[in-house]
Structure 1
C-alpha cells in the first residue's frame, strides 16, 4: 500500500507519520506539507510540498497512492477565529473539495477524512455521532468553519455513496502536542497557555473563565485512533475521536504552570477576551467498540510532554 498523508508535518500529521513508521514500516508513505519542514524520514517515506487549495497540487499529491489520511486543515485558536473566521472557512472548503475529487480521479479507494467537533450544535452531556442536528447551527463562534466541515462531510458522503469510494470520517476534539501552532495569533488554548508558562508571564493572563470545559486529545493518542480506523473492518462511517473526558481551563493552567516550573504572583482570567463554546465532551463509545482503541495520555502528562518539546524547540519552531 502507498499511503498519502495530507498535512504530514503539523501536530497531528507528525504524530501519525511517526506511528506509521513504527507500526507499518513496510508501508510506502507520501506526506504533504506547505510551510513546516518535515522531520527525519524513513526509507519508505517521501515528502512533497503541495498547495492543497490548488487543483494541480492535489492531483500531484494523490498520484500513485492507494489510500489517504486527510489531516490538512486551516486551524486557529479563539483569537484568529474571532478576528478572521473566513480563513478557516474558505480555505478549508476549497481544499477539502479539490482534494476529495483529486483522490477519486487518481484512483485512491480508501480514505480517512479528519473532520472536527466544531460541527456539532450546543449540547448538554457527551455528544454522540448520531446527535448531530443539521437543523441547528454550530456554536456561533464556529459558524463558518463548522458549516465548512459539515459541507465536507456531505462531500465525503457523495464520494462514498454515489462514486463508490471507501471514506471514513473522524470528528476530532482539540488535538495538542509537539509541533502544534504556538504562534499567539494562531494557537489553540493549550499551546497558548504552555507558551505563556514557559515565558514566565506574570501576571499570568488567561482568556475566559477557569470553569470552561474541553475534551482534548494528545497527538499520539489521536494518531493511534486514526490508524485503528484505517485498519478496522467496520461498516460504521463516522467516529468521534477524543478523550471522552473533560478538563477545565483552570486545570490546564495548573498543569502548564507546573510543567514549566512557574509560580506567578497572580493568575488573571480576562472575561472580555475572545472566547468560544463553554462546554464540550464527545461520546467515544463507537470507536472503542469498533476498533478497541482507547486514549492513554492524561492531560497532565500530555501538557508536560508538550511543554518539554516547546522548551527545547521554541527558538526554531516557526508555526
Structure 2
C-alpha cells in the first residue's frame, strides 16, 4: 500500500468507511494519522495512529489538530437513511450543515492542502443515467430533496475553495453508490438496506416482509473498495467522480444472495407494495472506468460474505 508520507487527519474514524481506511494505512512508515472520533474510539490501532475525541462542531477544537496537516479525509456526518428522513427530514440536515461547514472552513483556514470527501449521490435528480456534470441539474427527488440540496451546496463550496484565486485547498470528491461492509450500522433506523436485511434474517423470522418491488435495482459497493478507489485517484485530476459496482442488482437478487449465505429460506420472503413513490435512477460510471481501468471490485458474493461474518461475530 503506497501513500505519500505526511500528516493526515481522519474525521469519522470509528465509522465503517473510516475503519476501512485505518485498516489500510495503519503502521505505514512516515504516514502520521490523527483519528478523530466523537463517541466511539477507533476500532483500529497502529503505531502511526493517534485517536482524539473531539466535537468538530466547535471551531476551537479544530485549530490545534489541523495545524501542519497535509490531508484531511472526511467521513464524519449524521446518517440520513430513508427511515430517518421519513421521521425527521430536518434534523440530519441541521447537524450535517454544522459539521461540514465548520470542518471545511477550518481546513481552509489552517492551510490544509487536500480535502478528501465521500459525498453522496443524493444531489442527483431522478433520471435514467446521471453523469457527473448532471449533479446540479433540476431538483433531487422529493424523498431526499433537502439532504440532496445540502450535498450540492457543500460540493459547490469545496469546488469554490479548490479554485480560489489566492488560497486554494484541493478537494477530492467521490459520489459512491450504496456502501456496505463490516463495521456498518445494523440496528434501528440508521441501518441502511443491506445491514438491515442481515440483522432481520439473523432473527430467523417465520416470514420476512419487504415493501417495494422485487425488480427495483440498486447499485452497491463494498466499503473496502471505496477506500481502494480513494487512494488510487488521490493523485489524479478526476474529481468529482461517481463510484460503484460495474452493474446494478435487483432487490430480489440481493436479498436472495443474503438468504443463501445465511441459510435462510428465500421462500419466506414476501414483497408488498410500498406506499412511497418508486424512485429508480442510474448514474454513469464511465469516468470511473476511464480512470480506474485495471480496478477489480470485490464481488457482491465476497463482500456480502465478509459483512455477514463480521456481523455474526459482533452482533448484540
Fold shared by both chains (TM-score > 0.5): yes
The equivalent of 1:211 in structure 2 is 215
Label 1:248 to 1:173 Cα distance change in 2 as closer, same or farther (>3 A). Answer: same
Q: Does residue 43 of the first structure (1) align with residue 47 of the second (2)?
A: yes
Q: Does residue 227 of the first structure (1) align with residue 228 of the second (2)?
A: no
Out of 126, 132, 136, which is 2:135 matched to? Answer: 132
Q: Does residue 64 of the first structure (1) align with residue 68 of the second (2)?
A: yes
TM-score by length of structure 2 reads 0.91
Label 1:221 to 1:228 Cα distance change in 2 as closer, same or farther (>3 A). Answer: same
TM-score by length of structure 1 reads 0.90
Q: Does residue 280 of the first structure (1) align with residue 284 of the second (2)?
A: no
Deviations 1:108-156, CA, capped at 9 Å, x for gaps: 111112210111001113x21012243x111111111111110100110
The equivalent of 2:259 in structure 1 is 257
The equivalent of 1:7 in structure 2 is 12
Between the aligned partners of 1:183 and 1:209, the Cα distance in structure 2 is 23
Shift of 1:63: 3.1
Q: Where has structure 1 moved over 4 Å in runs of 4 or more? A: none
Label 1:233 to 1:314 Cα distance change in 2 as closer, same or farther (>3 A). Answer: same
Flag the structure with more relative contact order, 1 or 2, with Cα contacts below 8 A and sequence separation at least 6: 1
Shift of 1:295: 4.5
Moved more, 292-301 or 26-35: 292-301
The equivalent of 2:162 in structure 1 is 160
Between the aligned partners of 1:253 and 1:281, the Cα distance in structure 2 is 20
Between the aligned partners of 1:39 and 1:5, the Cα distance in structure 2 is 13
Shift of 1:287: 3.0
Kindly report the root-mean-square deviation, in angstroms, between the aligned alpha carbons of the 2 structures.
1.9
Label 1:91 to 1:309 Cα distance change in 2 as closer, same or farther (>3 A). Answer: same
Out of 74, 80, 85, which is 2:84 matched to? Answer: 80
Between the aligned partners of 2:140 and 2:171, the Cα distance in structure 1 is 23
Between the aligned partners of 1:93 and 1:239, the Cα distance in structure 2 is 22
Shift of 1:285: 2.4
**Unaligned regions of 5+ residues in structure 2, if any?**
1-5
Shift of 1:2: 0.6
The alignment partner of 1:192 has SS state of: helix
Deviations 1:64-96, CA, capped at 9 Å, x for gaps: 311111111212322112111223211112211
Between the aligned partners of 2:150 and 2:257, the Cα distance in structure 1 is 33
Between the aligned partners of 1:138 and 1:306, the Cα distance in structure 2 is 30
The alignment partner of 1:224 has SS state of: helix
* Kept in 2: contact 1:76–1:188 (CA 8 A): no
